[in-house]
Amino acid sequence: MAKKSKKKKLPLAYQPFGFVLGWVGGSLAGLAFKKTWMALRHEEDAPDALDRDRGWGEILLAAAVQGAIFAVVRSAVDRTGAKAIERTTGTWPSPEKSGRS
């Protein structure tokens, strides 16, 4: 009878690495959003939900663009980190088919 190979778990080893990647990803997403907003609206500051002088359309556009950029950057950084852990240790850092917590 063949032994089933158990998958190693890396939750504690991956946590500090994941934290750093998350911080770097957030910084990259913020920079990307600022550059994108500058290209779209030719303004340095994007509107905030509490900006009295900004309209709904402008506020919702800024939120949608920021959310899309953040999601793409976060996914790219998470995937890159997971692939690096797998290459280094031979183990994927999270259980199979797990979603984001």
Question: Does the pLDDT at position 85 exceed 90?
Answer: no
Q: What is the pLDDT of residue 17?
A: 78
Q: Could you tell me how many helices (H) and strands (E) the chain has, helices first?
A: 2, 0
Burial label, 23 (beta-carbon count in 10 A; 0-12, 13-18, 19+): exposed
Q: What is the pLDDT of residue 5?
A: 47
The percent of residues above 70 in pLDDT, for the chain, comes to 79
Q: What would the mean pLDDT of 66-89 be, rounded to a whole number?
A: 91
Q: What is the pLDDT of residue 10?
A: 60
Provide the token pair at 98: 């797990």
